[in-house]
Structure 1
Amino acid sequence: MTKPLLIALAALFLVVGGYLKGSHDKAQKWALSDAKRIQIETQAALKASEDARKKEQDAIDKLAQKQKELIYEKENTKLAVSNADNELNRLRQTIANLKHQQSTTSTSASAPNEATTQSWDLLEQCSTEYTEMGKIADEQRDELAEWQVYGQVIDEFREVNK
């Protein structure tokens, strides 16, 4: 009886040992499979992160380029405002000269001279207000252009990242 018991025990030992080895092999395969999956997911995440960084850098570069263009436009606006101020000063000088000529040539007809003087004053006042309105409009246009560029770049960035 001991011999059959030993054979049975040996068979049982072989079966259990085979089962344990098989489950250990499966566990190793699962572990390798999990490691491979994690590696693939990590690589995909790194690629996605790099792509996002590239898109963000592209947006930053585009914004910087547009800001350079806006600086150029602002310089042109400053030049236009300066030219408008120069023209206003020339007009004021012309009006002052005409008023002076009128006062030196006037003799007895003071009523038409008074109306002419008021007309010159009104022209000067209107041209001053017109120049000031132009300055405000130019400044607002520059600010609006800045916000439009910023919004455009943000919209493009969002569109790319959808």
Structure 2
Amino acid sequence: MKDKSHSQRVSDEKKECIVFAGSPVEDVNHAKSFWKSLTLHPPLESRLVSADIRQRLRVAAPLSTDKVIPTHTREEVKTAVFLHQSYEMVLKDEKEKRLKTVSQREAALNLLHKQRMERLQKEMISLPFKPKKQVFFMPVQSDYITDELE
């Protein structure tokens, strides 16, 4: 019996945890109602259901057996085919120009290489007949240097 009365008293104290000592009863009741009204709500993300968040998926469109196939007029098809063919021709011409430029460059490089090799062969043939370079040392006269400085 003592346990029940003690537990009831503890629960009553928990309910009445707001204490106003020396205040009129009206002020106490008004303050209690004010503080009880100010309960903080959990954040929006932690709520299971919220009016602010769309929680339902959009309804799928009804399945129809008649599929709409876009139809093109004969002129539109002809125009599209013509434009595609002309685009392919432009690409082909550009590719031919590039290949022609590459082949001209290769030919020029081959010609330069051939001319260089011929020049080197001629130099090798004439090498034994070339006179060897001689280095001449001229003595410098000191009188000449002093005359120039004055």
TM-score (norm 2): 0.38
| Higher-RCO chain (CA-CA 8 Å, sequence separation at least 6) | 1
More helix by share: 1
- Larger of the two Rg values belongs to structure: 2
